Structure 1
Amino acid sequence: MQKNVIIIAAVVVVAIAAGGAIFFLGSGGNDYENLEVTNLPVYGNANEDYIVDQKDVDLINQIIGTNVSDHPYADADGDGAITATDAEIVKKLINGEKTKVRFIDQHVYDVGTTNIVEVDYPLENVITINPDMLQLTFMFDGDEKVIGYIANRDSYGKTFYKADNNGFTRCLGTSPRMITQAEWEAIKDLDSELYKKNEGIGAILAYNDAALSDYKDDIEVAGIPVIYIRCTDPVLSIDATLLLGFLLGPDYSKKAMNYANDSRKAIVDLTEKVEKLSDSVRTEFIALCMWKYISQHDSQYTKIGLQAGGIDVANLPGNGSNPLNDVEAITIYNDKIDYIMNCRTCDCIKVDPLTLWEDSRIDILKKSSEFKNMFYLNLSIPTPCRVMYVAAMFYPDIVSMSEAHNYFQTMVDKYLSYLNNTVADNDFNVVQDMTTICTYQDYMDAKGGSGDDDIESDIDVVALAERFWNIMKDDLNSNLDPMIDYSYTPYKLSEENNSQMAKVVSDGETYFIKYTLEKDPRAKFSELKATYEAKIGTEARTTGICMEIPYSNALTEGFGYYVNSNPDAQYVLGSMKYVGYIDECLVDLQIVKRPHFTMEDIEKLIYAAYPAASDQDAKAWADAIDTSIFDKYAGSPYKLLLGADKEYASIKAADSGSGDRHINFSTKSDAYTNFTIQKNTFEEKVAGYEGTDTKCYVMDDTGFDEAYGYL
């Protein structure tokens, strides 16, 4: 089997600027005739670096009258000569003053020939076609210059929050990725509206000619420039950010450069980690889109996996996709691949895995031997983040899922902070507020397991949820006003609780405590812990400093943080998040309270989440019992067994007969687990006496936090 690997080359040049290090990547080996594309392919960028600045003015002044072929980008006005006029244009570009600007867009990567575009500078009143195109502008606040977009709006409610609420941008149509008649009519109406204000549409951003459909000639006649942008390519999208940021003016250019720095560094760091792998150990995959279309080798979807260091086993020519029309179309890859990467746009929200894994459109995929090794990649995240998440799936020993989460969280905090406005606690967490990767195990966890997929454990998650409920229900529902005390009331035990997952949830399930049986709870704990640790000491979106929760319980490991906003903040509330695990059980707690949490509140929640390690002395309890009171019972005398200590002590009958007559005391971390196991056993026995002549009496539990017994 031929193996094909495309990994962007490591750093070619590192240039140090006032803003920090700029990392330049190789172009991937494409060599188009008569093409010289710089990092910022703008005419006026005379020295062909990543920025238009005074150095370009100085260079142009030095080479006025020389052969333009030696410095083609010095010819800012395109008259075929290097003159003082070119230097004056560059000065205007530096200062953000109105002028014309010429540049090479990214159409070359689609058609193979250079496309020179001229637009008014600074660029305004932009229209984007393609949801990824609009999302790309968010990274540098470019949406402030996007007057309209064309995209399936219903699929991007949270993702498009910024554009839909900036008071400027409007939706011109809901066709997924192209102009139809309805969108063209909306564009013409918008152009007429702008004309009355002595303005016009500055440019249309498109992925390729297909996005313009039948209206390319009409757009050209209307005099509207088209800028072709590879907004979904893992590397070219970074270059596109630099170009678009520059075109919008100096302020946007600086923001775009910061984003490009972070993105390039992440890609370079990842490349250096995986490029040393031999083909024999590389992950082999196929990429899918639109549920059951297999992506061709040069498609945006396949490139994500390639950039993450994988091998595209399908290796289909082209940059589109082919439908899987019959079973053989997927089974030909049986036992030849490690993963199926299914690319879906799911918005910046938590997605129910059942909606993905039980969709009838993937029925044909169930014939694949690697169906359970399929994972969904949510495309509602920045393109470099997509690469990081796929790398974490392909090579978890090289790039952990925690690293991918941390990188995405950093990008959200620095460039997509508007997402904080889309969640109730105003603090968007990429792990808890959004689905980025959805695996088959996630599906089984959500489904509650079935048959052989059930996880066996001594931990009773339903009992733990009921314990939390019994301790906290009066506090949680003490005030049904959502702005007072615990928010999003009323809380309740979930009706979906089962042997694999149980939870107590707020109204709408925005906040909760959830107990889930996992094959590897420590791994998921580590992912969440990493995001929480990064919050400690930082200021929350709601104001206030995030503080580590100082209380513990008997979980194997636990970690969390809380934050109380300042009293004069726009949103006055307390927020806490905590995660831990024991044996196979993952415990996930997220609660909000207004106006703030007290330390007593937090301590009680942590105790309710799981019993605390006891400060009681088991041997002392046993020693306090006068064993002579048991002399009248069968099997006496009773006595304390040797070896009793602080954690465990047992008083046992000398003759247990056919049973096991004893009184045991335990303060071990698994004491509550053992209690629930024994309680379940007793309840089954009591139920077994129903309908018989034997009378069974349940004993009083007064004086205990929890107790159960029968006579």
Structure 2
Amino acid sequence: MASKTAIIAVVVVAVLVVAGVGAFLLMNGGGSNHDYDNVESKLMVRGNANGDYTIDKQDLTIIEDIIDGKLIGGNYPLADANNDGVVNDKDKSLVKDIIDRKDGITVYVVCNDVNGKDTTVEVKYPLRNVVPYGTNMQMPCLFANGGKYVVGYFVHSYEVAEKSISAAAVDLKGTQRTITDAAWANFTALDASLASKGGVGALLVDHSGIAQITEQRKADLDAAGIPMIDYSSADATDELTTVLTLGFLFGGDCEKIGLNYAKTGWDVKEKIESTLKKVDLAKKTYICGTMYIYICGASSSFNTSATTAGGLAYASVNADFAAKYTKNSTKMAST
């Protein structure tokens, strides 16, 4: 049976490999010979009728078969490419444009609403002039090589990684935890300054920070016609889908890089699962820390990173520990 040291090593390697995927792909231009048929991440764009990693002729065939009555549309929810509730020639036409990667079209992106439920937002393709909120969304944006399309940001945390952000991008003066009223005013002013370029293309939000998007701020977004793309991107698995989808929306080399990132991440996940399959679960407990002196609670999305690497959260086997660390992050204390 594997030793604790070996298990810890596997988990650490898994986290490091996944964290380094974006940098590796950026430095290597996204080149890869991956077999993408095994990518489990679903591209969250309507028109992806077969629910795989891209939109291509296979999706068009499904839509045509639904229109002809050969397939049941309800079995293919993303076949409704324009989100109007029916699958017809309009969806067929839109998917043809998506397959051609036609500039200026409107695509329909499935993501979270403010309550964490599925919703669909309209986005111009290719996506440009984005503003990410929170490190957990900013990094997936960069992993897809989208830094050149960032026009503003609320916080910066990783100086080296963020070198790929456009030098013209505006620091909106937010913090890791808060979008102040002043920072939000900076955001709306940025949108106004980009009016000749269509304004801010999208606000990208990690769902763990959704409390900062108040009803009034959501109303501001709606009034300005700024779509909010919200994913639970702090989750290690959901991050792969986030990078895949953002890469597709950015288009060009970003699409390929996002796809390679997702595939590499799933390869790592499968390797970890196969390596640890025979190890007693009780020997794989972990405590997840963040920001140097904080412990992640059971509900923290950071905890899922180690779970993805094959671990078992210590809070799930120690009730006293779970009772002490109930928040997403709590300052360390003697237990």
For this structure pair, what is the TM-score category when the shorter chain's length is used for normalisation? 0.7 to 0.9
Structure 1 residue 192: Cα displacement = 1.1
Partners in 2 of 1:157 and 1:198 — Cα distance?
28
Residue aligning to 2:330: 322
Corresponding residue number in structure 2 for 1:390 = none
* Contact 1:40–1:242 (Cα < 8 Å) also in 2: yes
User: Over aligned residue pairs, what C-alpha RMSD do you find?
Assistant: 2.6
Matched, 1:20 2:20: no
Where in structure 2 are the equivalents of 1:176-255 lying within 5 Å?
Answer: 176-195=176-195, 197-208=196-207, 209-213=210-214, 215-255=217-257
CA apart distance, 1:245: 1.0
Q: Work out whether 1:102 is the aligned partner of 2:108.
A: yes
Instruction: Label 1:274 to 1:226 Cα distance change in 2 as closer, same or farther (>3 A).
Output: same
> Conserved in 1, the CA contact under 8 Å of 2:46 and 2:79?
yes
Which residue of structure 2 lines up, in the alignment, with residue 43 of structure 1?
Answer: 46
SS state at 1:303 partner: helix
- Give the Å deviation of 1:198: 4.5
Q: Is the 8 A contact 1:65 1:81 kept in 2?
A: no
Contact 1:283 1:311 in 2 (8 A): yes
CA distance in 2, matches of 1:175, 1:62: 50
Instruction: Give, in whole Å, the separation in 2 of the partners of 1:256 and 1:96.
Output: 16
Identity among equivalent pairs (%): 29
The aligned residue for residue 266 of structure 2 is 264
CA contact (8 A) 1:284 1:313 kept: yes
Return the alpha-carbon distance in structure 2 between the equivalents of residues 299 and 184 of structure 1: 26
Query: Which has the larger Rg?
Result: 1
Counterpart for residue 307 of structure 1: 308
Distance verdict in 2 for CA 1:19–1:91, change over 3 Å: farther
Q: 1:72 is matched with which residue?
A: 77
- Counterpart amino acid of 1:283? K
1:86 aligns with 2:88: no
Is contact 1:126–1:205 with CA below 8 Å preserved after alignment? Answer: yes
Matched position secondary structure for 1:119 = strand
Which string of whole-angstrom CA distances, capped at 9 and with x for unpartnered residues, describes residues 223-278 of structure 1?
21111122221111001111111111243211210111111101110121113211
* Equivalent residue runs for 1:639-658 within 5 Å: none
Classify 1:307/1:80 alpha carbon distance in 2 versus 1 (closer, same or farther; 3 Å). closer
SS in 2 for 1:115: strand
Q: Whole-Å Cα distance in 1 between the matches of residues 149 and 177 of structure 2?
A: 20
Matched, 1:274 2:276: yes
Aligned AA (2:280): S
Higher strand proportion (structure 1 or 2): 1
Q: What is the aligned residue count?
A: 292
SS at match of 1:235: helix
| Counterpart check, 1:148 vs 2:152 | yes
Aligned in 2, Cα 1:174/1:156: closer, same or farther, shift over 3 Å? farther
CA contact (8 A) 2:276 2:310 kept: yes
Question: Secondary structure of the residue that 2:287 maps to in structure 1?
Answer: strand
- Structure 1 residue matching 2:244: 3-state secondary structure: helix
Give yes or no for contact 1:126–1:202 (8 Å, CA) kept in 2: yes
Contact residue 144 and residue 168 of structure 1 kept, 8 A: no
Query: What's the counterpart of residue 294 of structure 1?
Result: 295
Query: Conserved in 2, the CA contact under 8 Å of 1:206 and 1:212?
Result: no
Residue type at the aligned position of 1:145:
Y
Structure 1 unaligned residues grouped into runs of 5+:
1-6, 8-16, 26-37, 332-711
Task: Find the counterpart in structure 1 of residue 27 from structure 2.
Answer: none
Using the alignment, how far apart are the partners of 1:241 and 1:68 within structure 2?
A: 28
Q: Tell me the alpha carbon deviations over residues 515-556 of structure 1, each in whole angstroms, 9 at most, x when there is no partner.
A: xxxxxxxxxxxxxxxxxxxxxxxxxxxxxxxxxxxxxxxxxx
Tell me if structure 2 keeps the 8 A contact 1:293–1:321: yes
SS at match of 1:205: strand
Per-residue CA distance 1:573-601 (angstroms, 9 max, x = gap): xxxxxxxxxxxxxxxxxxxxxxxxxxxxx
> What residue identity is the alignment partner of 2:227?
P
Give the TM-score, by structure 1 length.
0.39
Matched, 1:57 2:53: no
Taking a change above 3 Å as real, the CA distance of residues 55 and 311 of structure 1, as seen in their structure-2 partners, is closer
Tell me if the contact between 2:132 and 2:204 (Cα under 8 Å) persists in the aligned partners. yes
Change (3 A) 1:319 1:274: farther
In 2: Cα distance, 1:72 partner to 1:319 partner: 36
How far residue 298 of structure 1 moved from its aligned partner, in angstroms, is 3.0
Give the superposition deviation at 1:111.
4.2
Which ranges of structure 2 fall in alignment gaps of 5 or more residues? 1-10, 12-31, 317-321
Q: Distance in 1 between matches of 2:148 and 2:177?
A: 21
CA contact 2:174–2:180 (8 Å) conserved in 1: no
Q: 1:112 to 1:134 in 2, by over 3 A?
A: closer
> Against the structure 1 CA distance between its residues 62 and 309, is the aligned structure 2 distance closer, same or farther, given a 3 Å change threshold?
closer
Q: Tell me if 1:124 matches 2:128.
A: yes
The alpha carbon displacement at 1:56 in A equals 1.4
Question: Are the equivalent residues in 2 in contact too, given 1:297–1:303 (CA < 8 A)?
Answer: no
Please give the secondary structure, in 1, of the residue aligned with 2:121. Answer: strand
Secondary structure at 1:228 match in 2: strand
AA of the residue aligned to 1:148: G
Q: Distance in 1 between matches of 2:222 and 2:327?
A: 26
Residue 138 of structure 2 corresponds to which residue in structure 1?
134
CA distance in 1, matches of 2:243, 2:94: 22
Question: For the residues of structure 2 that align with 1:306 and 1:19, how far apart are their CA atoms?
Answer: 25
Shift of 1:76: 0.9
Q: CA deviation at 1:176?
A: 1.6
User: If each structure's helix is expressed as a fraction of its own residues, which one has the higher value?
Assistant: 2
Going from structure 1 to structure 2, the CA distance change for 1:249 and 1:314 (only over 3 Å counts) comes to same
CA 1:308–1:319: 2 relative to 1, 3 Å = farther
Measured after TM superposition, the shift of residue 45 of structure 1 is 1.0
Q: How does 1:283-682 map to 2 (within 5 A)?
A: 283-315=284-316, 316=322, 320-324=328-332, 329-331=333-335
User: What amino acid maps onto 1:73 in structure 2?
Assistant: L
- Looking at structure 1, the residues matched to 59 and 220 of structure 2 have their Cα atoms a distance apart, in angstroms, of 37
Closer, same or farther in 2 for the Cα pair 1:308/1:198, shift >3 Å? closer
Counterpart contact for 1:202–1:224, Cα < 8 Å: yes
User: Displacement, 1:313?
Assistant: 1.8
Deviation at 1:319, TM superposition (A): 6.8
Verify the 8 A CA contact 1:68 1:80 in the aligned structure 2.
Answer: no
